[in-house]
Structure 1
């Protein structure tokens, strides 16, 4: 819903004449409950802000970057709107004082950065990770370092309430040379896939009852929190309401409904009854400082070859390397890790990527348990493959989506209690995103490297980012300095862990079943 207001402003034309014009003051659009959830999850230890970095060569000018972002990014209305809070939630309000120079700013690294530019850049990103964005204006910012190691660097900060990381990939792709603009109207493919009806059914039958229906209870009565917990704690009730309201139109019959109800209950119980993570130095109460680190790209073809040889996916290989690197880091600090496991929450997209331009948050979280206590790389990758297979078809991402949606609109103590449910059972948030195979161009220069990190919520202090791009794959880490003061020490184990896996793969007795 949009609301418009106007005022008459007077401007002096000369001493004897006043010119009046009609100027729009603001437009108002109600923020969704799910996006409001992310807005309210900010804490002193973890800001709900997506952090990114582009390394560009040769260098680009500030004027060119401003022009490109103003031309492309502002075609998404959300990026010219600020947030307005009220007693029942929040709204998107057009920023009538919008200036591109406020959101695209020049940045300089200290003179000492010439000795180790990457380390200086990582330090600056860590500082920006704990600096809140200005609530008086749209919650995003680009910082350009015009001169960096023979090129330029663009630092990106976008609040999670604007969109999730998967949607923002589509947005950033529109900024590159030749990037596609968002559709001017609601987009629908000319020939829908055979799965289109199933996607619509899933959206209405699962996402709506487990999130929208639950959080609407908060608006219905003062004791909405109890009602929301009731709806969330009894999925069968939500599904029965769907039958009454006709949401299950298109399903084959009551047998499908019973199967669905059973799966929701089973996966909901599995999510709620997850055991706590193994106790490691990476878990605890975070402080209020961050550090960022990343490695140079590894050849993606080599990762693919190892996966093919072991009949595992690229994802299995990369997650096994993450588990090995974290295990080596803990072992290097004298911590016993035999038999230990840590859980990472991995975002799972819940919408077609063709609709990512709509922004907002529509993703779930899949709990991936990493076997950090397995020292043999081949054994570890097979164990990861097994566990990823067990997650396929699970509704846990949908249920996690529901829990997080509800959490952000409850009173603060209840919200914290719900977030702690995940924090106690989680050591890290991890993203694994496949990017373009060929390097992209930006303002006529080459986008050499691109990395981003999604925020951690509650007391989670570790974020792991895996991004394939331009024929390589990179690992990045953002950590709380209280729990992990030197994330580079984890990063430095990724390449050796992959090398160990590669060598052992070559040494396996090929030719036998």
Structure 2
């Protein structure tokens, strides 16, 4: 690998880091049986390191130019891999280990990723953390698939998009087809008021806590959504809205009136159809603002409101406009980039992201992968991130929050379980760890169409809310 300039959007994510809030993704794989550190090291050397990005560090050119990827001359997988026992008798230990990984910054001067193996006698867990500048959620799923035994020997690099697939160039062409709509979307984005009230972005502490839901049958969620006249994503966003409403009213929260809506940042996949079965590397998504109704409502009323709002976003160019803003910020001077990302992040209270994962059960080094989920960053000023991931016919939601955020991740996960219980005729068995919730996107072998496409053009959602996230 030679020195390679970082894309503008990847550079924007790199510079979203704050000392108290780094923009990184955390992934958890729970495995049946014991996995030893030597076996994991061999697997990573064979299946992960052929991706050059995982052997490259970030070189920042400062004021003279944008950041770039360059080979790490001191690269050793031993600097990226650690192991310790998993206390299987204490279910909270896994949650605590993931929270610790989410909090601890990645070391500077190295390729921005690391892996932690938690060894148990009857089960093991692999926690992987990587910076969002490396990849978004779709690209990350491609890498995870490459680690599995089912995909062993298919260690191709992420495929390029179709010709003309550079998302910034495609976005520029799309917006030029209707410049008035693009200008209106940019004006609307710039003039959105700052989030206020109980869920306004807090002064962050830098300490993150995670929780996650039980896994819910995707087909049950889909059937319930169709019965209510909406999509899976509409139903899941409505459930998240109801869970936020429950958590807000259960308290304690800061003084002040409770809002009728809570604004979320939702990533939207803007990749062209890939030329091969794997996604292009890096970050190729836009962002849209979606108001989630959290006033006391009946479930059908909440679903109807969410459905109307996501339908309006599907017709807007908002995601393309946001991608252009991220690209511009990526090459702005660091001080200006910091002001820009803070300006936009303070307009929302949370990030909601959804990544469709493999629908067949995978194996890693001969061990069955029983659970697979991830946590999205809540970058810049935001304090809460909610992630949806589907795997082997089930959907699970991860919640990550800064300790200063007024809603505890466990409380929100528990509220989500209550909201989603109506979707499943037979609720999933509880694990012996603190309760949590679940949600998922419209995934049935197709990619869900969502916001960000100019009129007449659909885009595939990658993560979050109505369909997507971040990207991750």
TM-score normalised to the size of structure 1? Answer: 0.75
* TM superposition shift of 1:283: 3.2
When you count helix as a share of all residues, which structure comes out higher? 1
Question: Paired residue for 2:38?
Answer: 63
State the 1:274 CA deviation: 2.2
Of residues 78, 101, 108 in structure 2, which corresponds to 1:128?
A: 101
Shift of 1:157: 0.6
Task: Say if 2:270 and 2:286, in contact at 8 Å, map to a contact too.
Answer: yes
Quick check: 2:387–2:398 contact (8 Å CA) kept in 1?
A: yes
Query: Which of 163, 167, 170 is equivalent to 2:142?
Result: 170
Structure 2: gaps spanning 5 or more residues = 426-472
Q: How big is each residue's C-alpha offset from its partner over 1:72-120, in whole Å with a ceiling of 9 and x where there is no partner? A: 11221111111222222222221222212222221335xxx44432x22
Larger radius of gyration: 1
Distance 1:385 1:153, change over 3 A: same
**How far did residue 62 of structure 1 move?**
1.8
Higher relative contact order (CA 8 A, sep 6+): 2
Gaps of 5+ in 1: 3-26, 189-195, 210-234, 240-256, 504-513
Counterparts of 1:276-291 in structure 2, within 5 Å, are 276-281=194-199, 283-291=201-209
Aligned to 1:246: none
Structure 1 equivalent of residue 57 of structure 2: 82
Does the 8 Å contact 1:330/1:337 carry over to 2?
no
- Where does residue 128 of structure 2 map in the other structure? 156
User: Cα deviations across residues 414-435 of structure 1 (Å, max 9, x unaligned)?
Assistant: 2232122222210001111222
Residue of structure 2 in register with 1:102 after alignment:
79
Query: 2:171 corresponds to which residue?
Result: 206
Name 2:310's counterpart in structure 1. Answer: 388
Residues 382 and 485 of structure 1: is their aligned pair in 2 closer, same or farther, counting only changes over 3 Å? Answer: closer
Question: Is the 2:15–2:338 Cα contact (8 Å) retained in structure 1?
Answer: no
The answer to whether residue 258 in structure 2 is matched with residue 323 in structure 1 is no
Equivalent positions of 1:424-443 (< 5 A) are 424-443=346-365
> Which of 262, 266, 272 is residue 180 of structure 2 equivalent to?
262
CA contact (8 A) 2:357 2:390 kept: yes
Match in the other structure for 1:140: 113
For the residues of structure 2 that align with 1:46 and 1:426, how far apart are their CA atoms?
16
For residues 15-63 of structure 1, give each alpha carbon's deviation from its aligned partner in whole angstroms, at most 9, with x where no partner exists: xxxxxxxxxxxx4222223222222221022101111111111222222
Work out the number of aligned pairs and report it: 418
Residue in structure 2 matched with residue 460 of structure 1 by the alignment: 382
Aligned to 1:351: 271
**1:391 deviation in Å?**
0.6
Once the two structures are TM-superposed, the CA of residue 346 in structure 1 deviates from its matched residue by: 1.2
TM-score by length of 2: 0.82
Q: What secondary structure sits across from 1:305 in the alignment?
A: helix
Against the structure 1 CA distance between its residues 398 and 283, is the aligned structure 2 distance closer, same or farther, given a 3 Å change threshold? same
2:271 matches 1:306: no
Secondary structure, aligned partner of 1:178: helix
